[in-house]
Amino acid sequence: MRAEVKSTDTKKVVVGDNTFYITPFPAFTAVNVFGYLTKDLLPAVGGIAGLLQKIQNGFDSDINDVVPMLQEIVANIDGDVMESTARRLLTQYKNVVFDDEDGRAKTLCEDDVNEIFCQDIIGIAKLAYEVINVNYADFFSGLRVLLGGAK
């Protein structure tokens, strides 16, 4: 029985006015990037999740309850980490392609990111999220099953 080839699967996503095509990382690159993500971003994500839960619940607590969450987020992430993570996910491995103004497919590079996402940091975050989703969604769903969650 032959294994399914996933390395050529491409996911089409639209962020703002642009269409992007994301190809999964090669297996060992995915492991490497996952190591950076868990080391650099996971602690901050926990703090952000706690803060979002408080906001969704009506934010009826004292501001002093929120300060430790904000300190946790800031202590675990800085501009250098955010920038290197964005570069790693969006341009370093040449796994994101977009349609240029002439409708031709072009591999996303730093100059393109600067042009497309100037004054649109949330756009960078959305595209980075999509790259993470393409590469690690199966991992997180598999982890839920291993830990006894929903299948």
Q: How many CB atoms lie within 10 A of CB 24?
A: 19
Asked if 100 and 111 touch (Cβ cutoff 8 Å), the reply is: no
Looking up tokens 């050529």, which residue turns up? 8
pLDDT in tens, 81-94: 889 999 999 999 99
Instruction: For residue 144, name the pLDDT band (cuts at 50, 70, 90).
Output: low
Give the model confidence (pLDDT) of 15-66 as tens digits.
Answer: 999 999 999 999 999 999 999 888 877 766 666 666 666 666 665 556 666 6
pLDDT tens digits along 91-140: 999 999 999 989 899 999 999 999 999 999 999 999 999 999 999 888 76
pLDDT reported for residue 139: 75
Task: Please tell me the predicted confidence (pLDDT) of residue 40.
Answer: 75
pLDDT for position 49? 62
pLDDT value of position 41:
74
Tokens (6 digits) for 61: 């607590």
37's tokens:
């993500």
- pLDDT at residue 51, as a whole number: 64
